[in-house]
């Protein structure tokens, strides 16, 4: 009997989702090409991400992560608000149990990239279009004219995906009115020690905004301080103007002033000590499908959740785990894609909806923070969870998001 030829799979995007999907497809025996438009920018994204420790274990066991990947494990989240009666003082609202592993995005990406050295990874390759071919295959177009044919095309090309319109025509990510500013720098540059960060990440809330602080490994044996501040911008932020990770002096000045006005001084100082402040417009999206014909969505190209859920990288890795399982369970690509769609579309949408509820409750219509205490904060987060759970909000009594 002639062996079935290997599936030819193109992956658009070589970031976390792209590398993980390429690894999954390669392991399932496919011949894989990754097209990534950037040449070197990816390893420079040194920002922090949170991951559930149990998921890290499961991903390491299934070979998607190096079990030795450095992370900074913490057991709780401390909620703080500036004391309204004294600008220098702060009030702790809640020591929330929240065991998470704090990681460096760049280390995660490098680990995944190193796992696909046998895959044809084409850096500096921008895909300009995708096409369906009559026999159910797909073609990707580079530049204006060069086309290459594949059995499947995976859109792992981020929130402004070129592949998504082929799967769910007419959908576009919805912009959110508030944005996220971020900064990261070596722990040695931290103005004064912050002992809480050894075993916790800290959320400092203020009306219609919050700043989250935590430590992450720097990849060289040291640590970086990482912060992320959500607030409404002084002028609307257009995605066309600000690519993720863009910077803008007007906004940098604004966020420093906002921090000085809204945070207890020692937290504002951590923001003021930042050399480069990145601005990140926020979008979200639910979707009705993850696959159509030869096209497949993964990572942020699928359902897109606000960063409050701290789940985009994990969701991308779970997409890849599921894709590998789907391809391994059947010799029919159609059946494999149907399985993948059934599993990953609802999982992605659940995170998007949770991100919306967190945004609604913590940023858009927040409580009067200084009136809150541990009991009311617990009830408040249960209201946000709305019967689901999420790893940042540990509660084993209800179903997992």
Of 11, 12, 138, 204, the residue at the interface with ligand FAD (CB under 6 A) is: 12
Interaction of residue 225 with ligand FAD, rule CB under 6 A: no
Minimum CB distance to ligand FAD smaller for 47 or for 82: 47
Which residue do the tokens 């969701």 mark?
A: 315
Interaction of residue 21 with ligand FAD, rule CB under 6 A: no
Angle in degrees, CA 195, 198, 200, rounded to 5: 100
- As measured in angstroms, the least distance from the Cβ of 3 to ligand FAD is 31
Q: Which stretch binds ligand FAD (CB under 6 A): 25-33, 283-291, 303-311, 365-373?
A: 303-311
DSSP string across 101-139: EEEEHHHHHHHHHHTTTTSEEEET--EEEEEE-TTS-EE
- Which whole-number Å values give the CA distances from 119 to 20, 28, 39, 41, 245, in the listed order? 11, 13, 16, 20, 28
Alpha-carbon distance of 358 to 364, in angstroms, equals 9
The size of the interface with ligand FAD (CB under 6 A), counted in residues, is 38
Angle in degrees, CA 221, 316, 397, rounded to 5: 90
Maximum alpha-carbon separation in the chain: 81
In the numeric block, which tokens belong to residue 252?
Answer: 């940098």
Interaction of residue 43 with ligand FAD, rule CB under 6 A: no
Interaction of residue 36 with ligand FAD, rule CB under 6 A: yes
Interaction of residue 176 with ligand FAD, rule CB under 6 A: no
Interaction of residue 284 with ligand FAD, rule CB under 6 A: no
Minimum CB distance to ligand FAD smaller for 313 or for 337: 313
- As measured in angstroms, the least distance from the Cβ of 44 to ligand FAD is 12
Interaction of residue 299 with ligand FAD, rule CB under 6 A: yes
In the numeric block, which tokens belong to residue 261?
Answer: 């006005």
Q: Which stretch binds ligand FAD (CB under 6 A): 1-9, 44-52, 190-198, 346-354?
A: 44-52
Alpha-carbon distance of 100 to 139, in angstroms, equals 41
- Which whole-number Å values give the CA distances from 222 to 16, 72, 76, 201, 228, in the listed order? 23, 11, 22, 17, 20
Which residue do the tokens 């797909």 mark?
A: 138
Of 312, 333, 348, 355, the residue at the interface with ligand FAD (CB under 6 A) is: 312
Interaction of residue 130 with ligand FAD, rule CB under 6 A: no
Site for ligand FAD in 96-125 (CB under 6 A): 105
- As measured in angstroms, the least distance from the Cβ of 105 to ligand FAD is 6
Interaction of residue 16 with ligand FAD, rule CB under 6 A: yes
Minimum CB distance to ligand FAD smaller for 82 or for 315: 315
Minimum CB distance to ligand FAD smaller for 205 or for 298: 298
In the numeric block, which tokens belong to residue 232?
Answer: 């409404």
Of 23, 310, 351, 385, the residue at the interface with ligand FAD (CB under 6 A) is: 310
- Which whole-number Å values give the CA distances from 283 to 204, 279, 310, 317, in the listed order? 23, 13, 14, 20
Interaction of residue 37 with ligand FAD, rule CB under 6 A: yes
Task: Indicate the SS3 state at residue 212.
Answer: strand
Q: By Cβ distance, which residue is nearest to ligand FAD? A: 312
Positions that interact with ligand FAD (CB under 6 A): 12-18, 35-38, 42, 47, 49-51, 105, 126-127, 156-158, 162, 180, 182, 228, 244, 280, 299-301, 307, 310-314, 316
């Amino acid at each position: 009997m002639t062996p079935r030829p290997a599936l030819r799979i193109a992956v658009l995007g070589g970031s976390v989702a792209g590398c993980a999907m390429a690894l999954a497809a390669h392991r399932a025996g496919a011949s894989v090409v990754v097209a990534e438009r950037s040449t070197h920018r990816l390893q420079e994204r040194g920002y922090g991400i949170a991951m559930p420790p149990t998921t890290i274990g499961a991903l390491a066991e299934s070979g998607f992560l190096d079990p030795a990947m450095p992370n900074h494990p913490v057991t709780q989240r401390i909620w703080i608000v500036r004391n309204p009666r004294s600008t220098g003082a702060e009030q702790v609202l809640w020591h929330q149990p929240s065991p998470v592993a704090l990681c460096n995005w760049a280390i995660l990406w490098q680990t995944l990239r190193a796992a696909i050295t046998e895959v044809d990874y084409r850096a500096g390759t921008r895909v300009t279009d995708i096409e369906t071919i009559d026999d159910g295959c797909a073609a990707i177009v580079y530049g204006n004219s060069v086309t290459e044919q594949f059995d499947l095309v995976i859109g792992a090309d981020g929130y402004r995906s070129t592949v998504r319109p082929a799967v769910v025509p007419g959908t576009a990510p919805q912009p959110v009115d508030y944005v996220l500013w971020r900064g990261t720098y070596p722990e040695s540059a931290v103005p004064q020690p912050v002992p809480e960060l050894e075993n916790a990440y800290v959320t400092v809330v203020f009306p219609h905004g919050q700043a989250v602080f935590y430590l992450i490994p720097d990849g060289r044996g040291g640590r970086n301080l990482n912060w992320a501040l959500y607030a409404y911008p002084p002028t609307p932020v257009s995605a066309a103007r600000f690519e993720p990770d863009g910077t803008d002096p007007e906004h940098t000045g604004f966020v420093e002033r906002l921090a000085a006005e809204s945070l207890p001084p020692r937290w504002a100082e951590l923001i003021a000590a930042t050399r480069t402040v990145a601005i990140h417009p926020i979008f979200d999206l639910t979707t009705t499908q993850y696959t159509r014909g030869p096209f497949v969505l993964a990572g942020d190209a699928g359902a897109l959740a606000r960063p409050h859920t701290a789940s985009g990288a994990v969701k991308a890795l779970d997409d890849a785990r599921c894709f590998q399982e789907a391809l391994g369970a059947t010799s029919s690509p159609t059946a494999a894609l149907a399985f993948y769609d059934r599993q990953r579309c609802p999982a992605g949408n659940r995170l998007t909806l949770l991100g919306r509820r967190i945004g609604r409750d913590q940023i858009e219509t927040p409580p009067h923070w200084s009136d809150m205490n541990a009991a009311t904060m617990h009830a408040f987060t249960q209201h946000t969870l709305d019967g689901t759970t999420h790893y940042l909000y540990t509660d084993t009594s209800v179903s997992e998001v």
